[in-house]
Amino acid sequence: MCGIVGAVAERNVVQILLEGLRRLEYRGYDSSGVALIHDNALSITRRVGKVKALSDAIEALDDQGTGATGIAHTRWATHGGVTESNAHPHVSQSRFAVVHNGIIENHKSLRDELSALGYRFTSDTDTETIAHTVAELRKSTPTLLDAVLESVKRFEGAYGTVIIDKDDASTMVVARSGSPLVIGLGIGENFIASDQMALLPVTRRFIFLEEGDVAEITRTSVRIIDESGNEVEREIVESTVEHDAGDKGGYRHYMLKEIYEQPAVVRNTLQGRVSPDGIGNDVFGEGSDAIFAKTEHIKIIACGTSYHAGMTAKYWLEAYAGVSCDVEIASEFRYRKSVVKPNSLIVTISQSGETADTLAALKLAKESGYMSSLAICNVDGSSLVRESSLSFMTRAGAEIGVASTKAFTTQLAGFLMLVLAIGKQKNMPKDIQQHILSALTELPAKLEETLTLADEIDHLAEEFSDKHHSLFLGRGDQYPIAMEGALKLKEISYIHAEAYASGELKHGPLALIDAEMPVIVVAPNNELLEKLKSNVEEVRARGGIMYVFADKDAHFESDETMRVVNVPHCLESIAPIVYTIPLQLLSYYVALIKGTDVDQPRNLAKSVTVE
């Protein structure tokens, strides 16, 4: 999704801006641009495609890009096609330059008003209305800050925006509403970005802006005005994110690195929170155990891969902890009227903590009478964490590959801990508690063992590369894993993949079965195994070709219609986590053969900060 970097300094900032953009590339984008102020002149360079195209263009300039004040952007098209003229920064009066993440929803009426005032639009974007609005209001206000404070009153929708004025190179003004911005504090220089990752090479001291904040940033000062118009101080946070989190560490892709990191990051996520004796107190935040004691219903809200983690958790929470649970896609929940059951806890899950739909759903839930809110998240200090009463950090480390892997498995480990924490308050039977504790204890080693299947899966992937469709099947808590497997394959290999609860086969998808549509089955040895075997026979009888990831004791045999990969035996409650690994590897190797952009698949973004 779109990325922002900005700087006010004494030194030339062009390389800082470009490096910032490179560090945001993982979020997905289709064009990029830079605006620099030098000698009271504004220079704009924009390119379609990768940041490399932009940096090559800047290098070819006579001055190779000079300016101690500048803003830069990677754009993920929403309004207007992928063209140079739609790329940011957008400019008004050859004086004001603007970069923007989010969507100005009332852009049409603003465009009409501003056109009537004589402003000429050169792009199809909503962002250009910001540039002209600020230019117009600057005429009647004493400073750029005042002009922006007036302008934001006119904007509806979501924005994280940064504005510079060539007539005052000492200042940039930023505004946040629904799209994150973080100020990076340097010595005699200051920065802005949509994600701290962009600024880690230049600072580790950050101020996370809050909803409604507008800030004026100079080389030596930061002034923040909150939503109510009051000047406020915000906490300075020392970042704990590793500087080289963006390093591939010898792996060919971030995704592969992140797949292999799973045993370690799951171990980190468990550490100090759970031991063979039980779950610690208040692991989900201060006062969480008391809230869990009162909780009668759990509503889980998320998007994408995080939603699949929530779906898995529903099986666990109801089966093990005996607490009723339902799961919903955030973009659906936020726009429908729903009934809040008494003593309900809202649980949001998000890798980034900045997904616009999830944030909006949380806001709605808080207004609708949920007893409390818990965020399961991978980014400390993110909007979701700050806006929830309770939080639990998955310790996956920075996830760069757009296709989520280690964030998912750590979310699942977090949910098994949630089952333990809630179960403790609800007298969950001792044997179930013991089972989960033993399963979590063996989990990191089981993940390591499962990763040794990589070569076998690599060979198997060759049979997929010429296929256009595929079907993933699972039952019970493996159904969401089949969904996640299908999502991974379609995200990075562009092969159409659908997932079904295998009991549903006969209600439609059987009509699609033929030798050209591989059927992928996840088959641990559990109480649904015999049912699953009947579904496998239904596929076989119709000439389907199957790839079965199965427990050795499930007794599947490879033959001409079925390729069986034996997954290490594990305790039942962690099987969804263990069986995720071979499906991730399968997608990865298929994508590798197809030669797609594994880490930045087309049209997708890492953190979806627009709705």
Strands 519-523 and 469-474 come out as parallel
Long-range contacts of residues 553-560, Cβ cutoff 8 Å, at least 24 apart: 553/525, 554/523, 554/524, 554/525, 554/529, 556/523
Q: How far is the CB of 392 from ligand G6P (least distance, A)?
A: 14
Q: Determine contact, residues 163/93, Cβ cutoff 8 Å.
A: no
CA distances from 553 to 56, 181, 526, 531 (A): 57, 52, 10, 15
- Return the range that interacts with ligand G6P (CB under 6 A); candidates 114-122, 268-276, 304-312, 429-437: 304-312
> Tokens at residue 545, please?
């070709």
Q: How far is the CB of 305 from ligand G6P (least distance, A)?
A: 3
Q: How far is the CB of 172 from ligand G6P (least distance, A)?
A: 27
- Return the range that interacts with ligand G6P (CB under 6 A); candidates 64-72, 135-143, 368-376, 600-608: 600-608
CA distances from 108 to 124, 193, 489 (A): 10, 27, 38
Walk across the sheet containing 231-232 and list its strands: 90-92, 96-104, 157-165, 168-177, 214-217, 222-225, 231-232
Question: Binding ligand G6P by CB under 6 A: which of 55, 177, 262, 352?
Answer: 352
- Return the range that interacts with ligand G6P (CB under 6 A); candidates 282-290, 350-358, 416-424, 440-448: 350-358
Q: How far is the CB of 76 from ligand G6P (least distance, A)?
A: 11
Catalytic residue status for 606: yes
Q: Is 179 in the site for ligand G6P (CB under 6 A)?
A: no
**Closer residue to ligand G6P in complex, CB, 304/544:** 304
Q: How far is the CB of 498 from ligand G6P (least distance, A)?
A: 18
**Closer residue to ligand G6P in complex, CB, 203/378:** 378
Q: Is 263 in the site for ligand G6P (CB under 6 A)?
A: no
Q: Is 608 in the site for ligand G6P (CB under 6 A)?
A: yes
**Closer residue to ligand G6P in complex, CB, 43/306:** 306
Question: What is the C-alpha to C-alpha distance for residues 437 and 571, in angstroms, rounded to an integer?
Answer: 10
- b/e sequence 434-460, b meaning 16+ C-beta within 10 Å: ebbbebbeebbebbbbbbebbeebbeb
Candidates 50, 467, 533, 606; catalytic one: 606
Question: Binding ligand G6P by CB under 6 A: which of 402, 418, 520, 567?
Answer: 402
**Closer residue to ligand G6P in complex, CB, 166/606:** 606
Output the CA angle 291-270-434, nearest 5 degrees: 75
Torsion of CA 387, 388, 390, 393, to 10 degrees: -70
Q: If binding means CB under 6 A, how many residues of this protein chain bind ligand G6P?
A: 15
Question: Binding ligand G6P by CB under 6 A: which of 179, 268, 358, 394?
Answer: 358
Q: How far is the CB of 493 from ligand G6P (least distance, A)?
A: 15
- b/e sequence 86-123, b meaning 16+ C-beta within 10 Å: bbbbbbbbebbbbbbbbbbeebeebbebbeeeebebeb
Question: Binding ligand G6P by CB under 6 A: which of 86, 129, 194, 355?
Answer: 355
Q: Determine contact, residues 285/391, Cβ cutoff 8 Å.
A: yes
- Return the range that interacts with ligand G6P (CB under 6 A); candidates 209-217, 267-275, 289-297, 603-611: 603-611
Q: Determine contact, residues 204/239, Cβ cutoff 8 Å.
A: yes
> Tokens at residue 284, please?
């989900």
Question: Binding ligand G6P by CB under 6 A: which of 404, 470, 535, 580?
Answer: 404
Question: Binding ligand G6P by CB under 6 A: which of 129, 305, 405, 470?
Answer: 305
- Return the range that interacts with ligand G6P (CB under 6 A); candidates 39-47, 206-214, 263-271, 601-609: 601-609
Bridge partners (DSSP) listed for residue 294: none
C-alpha closest to that of 33 among 93, 94, 100, 96: 100
Candidates 2, 303, 325, 377; catalytic one: 2
Q: How far is the CB of 190 from ligand G6P (least distance, A)?
A: 27
Q: Which residue carries 């594990």 as its tokens?
A: 570
**Phi/psi of residue 570, each to 5°?**
-145, 165
**Closer residue to ligand G6P in complex, CB, 285/353:** 353
Q: For residue 54, give the 3-state DSSP assignment.
A: helix
Q: How far is the CB of 178 from ligand G6P (least distance, A)?
A: 14
Catalytic center residues: 2, 606
Which residues are near ligand G6P by CB under 6 A? 303-306, 350-352, 355, 358, 402, 404, 604, 606-608
